[in-house]
Amino acid sequence: MSIEIEHLVGGYSQVPVLKDVNFSVADGEVVGLIGLNGAGKSTTINHIIGLLTPQRGHIRVGGVELINDAQAYKQQIAYIPEMPVLYDELTLEETLTLTMMAYGLDEQATWKRAHELLKKFRLDNKLNWFPANFSKGMKQKVMIVNAFMTEAPVFIIDEPFLGLDPVAVHDLLTLIEDAKSRGASVLMSTHVLANAEKYCDRFVLLHDGQVRVAGTLPELQAAFPEAGDSLEDIYLTLANGERDAND
Amino acid sequence: MPMTDLNRLFAHRLSRHIGFLLKYLRLVFTDHFVIALFFFCGALGYAYQSGLKTLINGVWWGPALTLFVLTLTSQLGRLATLIEPADTVFLLPAETKMHAYLRHARNYSFLMGSLMQGAVWLVLLPFLAQGDQLSFTAALLILISQLLVKFSVINGHVRQAMLQTRQRRVQQLLWSWGVPVVTFTVALWVTPWLGLVLAVVSAGWSQYQLGQHWQKGQLAWHQLVNDEAARMMTLYRFFNLFTDVPQLASQVHRRRYLDPVWRLMSGKSRNPYRLLFTRGLGRDGDAFGLVIRLTVIGMLLLVFIHNQWLSLLIMLLAVYLIGFQLLPFYRQYEGNVFTHLYPISVQSRLQAFRHVLTIILTGTALALVVVDVVVNWSWQRLGIDSLALALELVIFIGWYSQLRLKKMAS
């Protein structure tokens, strides 16, 4: 198991956003983290990447807990944030070099991969520019290249499709498939259910800081036989049901 | 607040804006600054008074100088619309009612402009009497003309805010500068009465133009937003001379020609923070400017000051000031998630920062010592300078910075 989350309770303040969250992502598996705005997806991700400290429970990445060995824990994770985050003063080339240095990657081999990715996303002629001044979509592509050139064992991807053109969306999905076939674990939060349904092996539906249901599509279909076949139908049934229950 | 109540919207924004101005003015006019200003104004007033005494019978260049001052003054005080970028979305539906808002903006701007006109007129009054040999009535007529000209100029700016009345840049400049130049030329060389007539006509014409259009005008939103942002930026820059203005984000400069320098500075090290801190400090407008400014000022002072101990004090102070002010840059990237995500220990981040700091401060110290010994060559001076600065570097980087950075890191 590459990501294991057990009884996670946490959030930004004393009042927990996440209340006893449990799920895992195996090697070579893509798991979709699905939920309404405010369900706790980003909070979960912030806990996994180590920005937040759990109030209770455990998070293990590759069997390591952050508190025991921060370096080994962080070494395994490649992260694509929801909003692109870049250093204002670094060129595209320097940004990628920085990541290679930070993860201690072999620069020659990594640059080879990076160049292929840059070409794929049509960024190869922008190496000397400041990506901080790029458009939203192009910044997102930089984040994708930055993450996927590392060949990390664990990918945490937060809502990656916003602002990407259709070609880039397709390329990103291919990259995710490649990473998966290489044995990497991918946790992806998204609202684009059609993509999630097609590319994720399992789904974790978060609601109000708790895992409402988790499993493969057939398992979800079995759990909600009256909801319909597609992930979107099941999701809407669930979301509406919760809303009615709260009214 | 209902969105359509645009009268109240402007009043609301104005009170916030004035609050902003007061907050920063308090920081500008500190006790020391006021005392310094007091003496400065006193000295200036004294010089003005003595100068005036030599102009008993008027001077031929009096009207020309007056024209110059009055024309420049007429440009003081821009149109403050207090429009915000979000308005292009939220106030767009109320566009047809925006003239009420703009009228308030115009009136406020006119009031502020008038105060400046009045202040300059007061200062100029003795010169009008002595240098231009004008009567008090004539001076009063000029004041009224000044206000009317200001009114025309501001109306000209409002005119630019509407698509129907927008003029090309050249026409706009012609109006802004042409009206004051013509009015004051006539007032000073022909008669103030005719100047006043011209000012009345231009003010009336500008108001008539607006009246024709601003009930149904469509706003040039982007222009309004950009102009207001530019106006605020000027204010921020002014206040930034005295205090720290958070709205003034520092500019990043590419400076491609310095790339080899950064490569040399970060060296062969695999520490990613060396790469980050060299580029960060080198391309950040504030940090780079600080180092260059203080080094150059120090070098210039050393050229003119020959006293050995004073020179040494200046060198030590320059290095200390640069180092001291660069220390907070260590936290520059705290807000970036990747800083926390990288599998890099805090120790190597500290190490990288101190490495870069060492290079910068050593470079500054070298530059200062070189200037000092070139200007006043002696072996003894070279020895003392080198020893003192080396000692300072060792203490500052080896002990003091470590103390401060550790405190910041925790």
Q: Is there a single domain that holds both residue B303 and residue B229?
A: no
What's the rounded Cα separation, in Å, for the pair B121 and B138? 12
Q: Is there a single domain that holds both residue B153 and residue B284?
A: no
Q: Is there a single domain that holds both residue B181 and residue B265?
A: no
Q: Is there a single domain that holds both residue B152 and residue B25?
A: yes
Full residue range of the structural domain in which residue B82 is found: 6-240
High-pLDDT (> 90) share of chain A, %: 80
- The answer to whether residue B246 is domain-embedded is no
- pLDDT for B210 equals 87
Q: In sequence order, what E strands does B48-189 have?
A: none
Mutate to test the interface with A, among B334, B341, B351 (most CBs of A within 10 A): B341
Q: Cβ separation of A85 and B338 shorter than 8 Å?
A: yes
Residue type, B203: A
Confidence of residue B213 (pLDDT cuts 50, 70, 90): confident
Q: CA neighbours within 13 Å on the CB side: how many for A88? A: 15
- pLDDT for A227 equals 83
Residue B1, pLDDT above cutoff 50: no
- The answer to whether residue B72 is domain-embedded is yes
What's the rounded Cα separation, in Å, for the pair A78 and A72? 13
Which of B195, B214, B240 marks a domain boundary?
B240
Which distant-in-sequence residues (6+ apart) come within 8 Å of B17 by Cβ?
Answer: B80, B82
Number of domains in chain B: 2
Among B209-218, B286-295, B335-344, B385-394, name the one with the lowest average pLDDT: B209-218
Q: Is there a single domain that holds both residue B226 and residue B359?
A: no
Q: Is there a single domain that holds both residue B126 and residue B271?
A: no
Mean pLDDT of chain B: 90
- Residue range B270-284: average pLDDT? 92
CATH number of A1-76+153-163+187-247: 3.40.50.300
Q: Cβ separation of B337 and A94 shorter than 8 Å?
A: no
- pLDDT for A89 equals 92
Q: Cβ separation of B272 and A49 shorter than 8 Å?
A: no
Q: Per-residue pLDDT tens for B27-43? A: 888 888 888 889 889 98
Q: Cβ separation of A101 and B272 shorter than 8 Å?
A: yes
B-contacting residues in A 77-106 (Cβ below 8 Å): 77, 79, 81, 85, 87-91, 94, 97-99, 101-104
Q: Per-residue pLDDT tens for A151-208? A: 999 999 999 998 899 999 999 999 999 999 999 999 999 999 999 999 999 999 999 9
Pick A102's closest partner by Cβ from B254, B272, B336.
B272
High-pLDDT (> 70) share of chain A, %: 98
Q: Cβ separation of A103 and B280 shorter than 8 Å?
A: no
Q: Is there a single domain that holds both residue B171 and residue B263?
A: no
Q: What angle do CA B23, B25, B28 make, to 5 degrees?
A: 120
Mutate to test the interface with A, among B337, B340, B345, B346 (most CBs of A within 10 A): B337
Q: Per-residue pLDDT tens for B48-65? A: 988 888 887 778 888 999
Among A210-224, B99-113, B163-177, B364-378, name the one with the lowest average pLDDT: B163-177
CA distances, B53 to each of B69, B136, B138, B399 (Å): 20, 18, 21, 61
* 3 state SS of A206: strand
- pLDDT for A245 equals 66
Q: Cβ separation of A74 and B254 shorter than 8 Å?
A: no
Pick B254's closest partner by Cβ from A87, A103, A130.
A130
Q: Is there a single domain that holds both residue B161 and residue B204?
A: yes
- The answer to whether residue B103 is domain-embedded is yes
Confidence of residue A246 (pLDDT cuts 50, 70, 90): low
Confidence of residue B99 (pLDDT cuts 50, 70, 90): confident
Cβ–Cβ under 8 Å, residues B36 and B91: no
- pLDDT for B3 equals 45
- Residue of A73, A3, A66 lying closest to A33 (CA atoms): A3
Q: What value of ipTM does the predicted structure carry? A: 0.88
Q: Cβ separation of B252 and A85 shorter than 8 Å?
A: no
Domain edges within chain A: 1-76+153-163+187-247
Question: Which pairing describes strands A77-80 and A154-158: parallel, antiparallel, or unpaired?
Answer: parallel
- pLDDT for B4 equals 52
- The answer to whether residue B1 is domain-embedded is no
Which residue did the predictor score with more confidence, A245 or B344? Answer: B344
- Residue of B69, B49, B63 lying closest to B138 (CA atoms): B63
Mutate to test the interface with B, among A53, A77, A79, A87 (most CBs of B within 10 A): A87
Confidence of residue B2 (pLDDT cuts 50, 70, 90): very low
- Residue range B155-179: average pLDDT? 88
Question: Which pairing describes strands A64-65 and A56-61: parallel, antiparallel, or unpaired?
Answer: antiparallel
Mean pLDDT of chain A: 92
Which of B240, B264, B290 marks a domain boundary?
B240
Total beta-carbon pairs less than 8 A apart between chain A and chain B:
69
